[in-house]
Amino acid sequence: MKKIILASVMTVFTTGVYAQGAIDAQLKEAQCKTATDNIAKAEKATQDPKKGVKSATWVKLAESQIEMAIDCGKDSSASEKAYNTYMKALEVDKAAGGKGVKDIETAMSGTTSRLYTSLMQQGAGFYNSKNFKNALKLFKLASATSPKDTIATLYAGIVAQQGQELADAKTYFGKFIEQGGKDVAVFYGLSELYRNDKESAKAVEILKKGIAVNPKDKDLQSSLINAYLGGGMMNEAIDMMKQRVASTPNTPENAKNLAEDFKNLGTLYENGAGEFEKKIRPLESELSVAAREKAEAEKDLANVEGKKAAQEDELKRLNDRLKKEPKNAASIKGSIASVTQMIASANSEVEAAKQKIAKATQAAQNGSKNEAELKELKAKEAELKDLAVANYKKALEIDPANFDANYNLGVYYFNSAVVAKGAVDRMDMKTYNEKGKAIEEQVCATFNQSKVYFDKCKSLKADDQDTNANLDNLKGVLEQCAKRK
């Protein structure tokens, strides 16, 4: 997925660290010495039995550590130490009655506090050196000091994402949105995190929030459509795209984008038709198998009954001979026994064939329920294909040079002709003589219709391999059509 990169606003927090080179070396050294001395004195005070139980002593140490972070910069963990020291000050003050808690919280809270500045500044330093782990830690602390601040929250989310701490990225991008952040990239990035984790419903929810605060952003709309598709919500994707084309005025400046949207809507309808086709094929196969098995069983029965009838005729002939040729009785009786056995076997075969027919008939009857379902599915498939074609044509009305719309229409008409040609090929001679030739003429007309769109594609992208392959196929097909005239 796309990663969000920290904007140049980051420099606001790095000046304290990286501008030090512009300060007189002696002045910087003096500042570092002062910060180091103050920290040493403050640490010593915290170890004093009397002073160590006073929150002011810990606040003084925290302030000295912030001084080290902002004015000196030698200790890259000074801001974190300051945060922890302030927390210790709160603990000490609460143990002593809590009279100073409010003042301590005020000192360590808000974007104007020196603690926030130090955390953000040193977090930026870690980020610029690509130490994402420590940068994330400091940005999270900065966010904790200023719960309403979107900058620290945003930076924590970005650094978490870049450092592959994706659970934290989700948390802080989500918090950024809850705080009222409107950055389009955050809505997109967070939705992608959820999509990657197969949480389509959550991705959709985030994108809807993004569109609510950025209603004109086409990228978020496209992302929402893709999220719908990824979550198997085809109808929602189609509705979203319909709303999009309906709300886009057909002006010269919008022409190409609007045509592309109509083409995409057509593609969605075509994909929807494809979903129905997946349901149609198994039903067609099931009905075809049932019909074929019944026909085969009836053929088998006819063969067995014919064989049995011949054997019964032979038995009658043998019985007649037995009456006329008593001297050959032994031989004739042997033949009679053999034929009688064959008839018994044929009776078993007849029974088996009848059972097979009964089973096939039952399957065909069950299939009649599927026929109604199949008819309904085919109607829906045809409706969606018609809508796809209509939207491809709308795209071309606006922008005749839209390659994909031309290509998709070429494919549609080519495939329609192939299906119709297959039906002709399966006709028996009688049916073909009745209506096959008329259908073949329509097939050839449809192939010619397909060629018009592929020719346009060729004019737009002369080297497109798929287009050229389709035109090569059409050349042979249309030559055969010409020979039939």
How many angstroms separate the CA atoms of 365 and 375, rounded?
A: 16
pLDDT at position 365, please? 67
In terms of DSSP H, where are the helices of 325-425? 329-398, 403-425
Helices 234-246, 255-324: axis angle to 10 degrees equals: 140
Token pair recorded at residue 179: 């705080």
3-state SS, residue 447: helix
Q: What is the pTM of this model?
A: 0.70
Max CA-CA distance within the chain?
Answer: 145
How many angstroms separate the CA atoms of 319 and 322, rounded?
A: 5
Domain 1-181 grouped into CATH 1.25.40: yes
Strand positions, DSSP E, 259-352: none
* Inter-CA distances, 172 with 8, 118, 187, Å: 20, 20, 12
How many angstroms separate the CA atoms of 61 and 376, rounded?
A: 78
Residue partners of 214: CB distance under 8 A and separation at least 6: 182, 184, 187, 220
pLDDT at position 312, please? 81
How many angstroms separate the CA atoms of 187 and 224, rounded?
A: 10
pLDDT at position 13, please? 45
Name residues of the chain where pLDDT drops below 50: 1-2, 6-23
What is the tens place of the pLDDT at every residue in 171-215? 999 999 999 999 999 999 999 999 999 999 999 999 999 999 999
